[in-house]
Structure formats: C-alpha cells, structure tokens
Structure 1
Amino acid sequence: MNGYELVAALINNLVWPVVVIVVLFFFRDQFREFIGRISIFKASRDGLEVHAMGEISKQVIGKSLPPNIVKEVERKQILEQGNNSNGSYTLYANGMIVARRMVTLMAGESKRTIALPIAMVNDATSVQFIGDIQAKVVSLNRTVIVFEFALSDVEREIEVVVAGL
C-alpha cells in the first residue's frame, strides 16, 4: 500500500465520524433539547426505538401545573372517576383502573376482606398498602381483596390501592 492508498483509506474510514461530529456541533442545542425529552430508549438487533415526551408531559414532571394544563391532561387521560361506599376509582384511557379505599384496622384484627369500589375488567394486578402496616395478600380477584397483617393492640387507618386492567 503506497502513501496515496493509505490517505484514501484513512479518509474513507474517517469521513462519517467527522460528518457526525460536525452535524452534532451545529445542531447541539436542538440535540440537547431532544435528549432531555427522551422517555424510552431501546436498542436491539431489530433496531432502535426512541420515544420523546410531548410538551404537556414535559411540563407535568416535577412541577405544579396551571389549571388549564391539568384539565387538558385529565381530558386526554382520565375516562371516568367515581366513588361509592367502597372507596374511589379512576379509569384511564389505556384501560388501567386504580381503586383506592381507606380501611380502619381494629386492635386485635389480623385479617381483612374488602370489596373494591369497581370491578376490574380482568383480575387486579397490583396492591399497595399505605400506612403503618406490612400486609400479605391472601386472595385477589376482580372485586375483592383478602389480606393478612400482624396483630396490633391499637386501631390503625391505612389506604389500600389496587390497580388492574
């Protein structure tokens, strides 16, 4: 390989990295803004998947929202909200149902069965206990949850949050 062939091979191998660096330099502000909006980035042998947040999503994260944006997000995301004697629920546009119920656990009690405020379309998928409790789910279906917890000599109030599709 003579000197000309070596220079041609070097140029051929370095031209794309140099072009990428130049493009990134000239569009660095736009690129920085786009990187800040990425919510999902997946690379696999099938390709690259990138999802960027829209303006409303970007404004929602970490800020107290003006009422007009709250109404717009609710209009697009929340299909139905309601409550009854069994608690409250929210039905989201993606099919997710989140049911909440305040429960008073009596002293000496170690197991409780509660009805959900709305029946899940399918079985519930997750349960969260909020308050002074470590509980174990014994049974969970579309309308009822049974859970056990340690005995206590004091009355406690907890919130049970159940999600499902």
Structure 2
Amino acid sequence: MKITRTAAVLGTAAAITLGGVVGAAAENYMRPADSENPIAVAGCVIRFDEREGTKTIPRIHANQSHMCVGVTDVEVNEDGDLVVNSDKQGAIVSLVVSPDETMSKMGLSCGGSGGIGHTTVRCYDRTGKHVRADGPDIYNPWGNLWLSWFIWEK
C-alpha cells in the first residue's frame, strides 16, 4: 500500500510539473489577435502552363494582375512535389494553398507543408492519387495555384 501511495503522489507531482511546463511553453507561442502583431503577408500564384515534351514546368505567374510577394522560385523535388522557395524567415501563423476553379474542375486538391524558407505542396486527383507537379495531368494553360502565408516576424 505504501508503494502504491508513493507512486500515486509522484505521478501526480510529475503530471502537475509537466502540465505547467507544457502550459508555459504553449503560452510563449500563443498571442491574442492584435493590430500591433509583427505579421508579414506573402503570396504568389503558380501556373502549370509550360511544357518540355510531356513534362510540365511549374512557374511563378506574376504580371500587372498577379503580384508575387516573398517567393523567389519554384522547383519540383524527386517525389514530384512542388517546392516553393521564399525569402522570408519567421514562424508560420497560417499557410493557405488553394487551387483555382480551373484546377478544381480538373479534380485537383493540394496541400502545403513547411513554410520557413520553403513550402512543399502535394496535389491529388479525385481518387486520392498523387499528381506530380511536373506530370502531364497537372498541365493547364489557365490553372492557377494560389498560395498565401502569414509569417510572424521575429
């Protein structure tokens, strides 16, 4: 009985201590919404309208109607994912990857990962099959992939 009671007391003390540590750590990375927050907004449109043979070449689509802020270049990694490189450093507050109506009509959905220096974007078709960013199934002269980042400037 003495061992069980001691274990229970130690377990409770550890839980309280760890709970305090986790709670304190979480508080350091949670802030109220405030107009004084040091948040930078970045965004860009990526288009899949160029080809070399059957290979699609994703590119930054920037012109008088489409601004690109914070993105330096795009590439395709060995897994066929789009890698969007940026010039901004900081903690990611939010990342949005949104196929436009043309890509949605093609049945494509995409999601992003990362965001500090680069974001990896992977797209899928309606059946859940991975669609390579340099493959023939993503090519479209009018399809846009919209990307937005909200970055906490340190």
TM-score under structure 1 length normalisation: 0.35
Greater Rg by CA: 1
TM-score under structure 2 length normalisation: 0.37
Greater helix content: 1
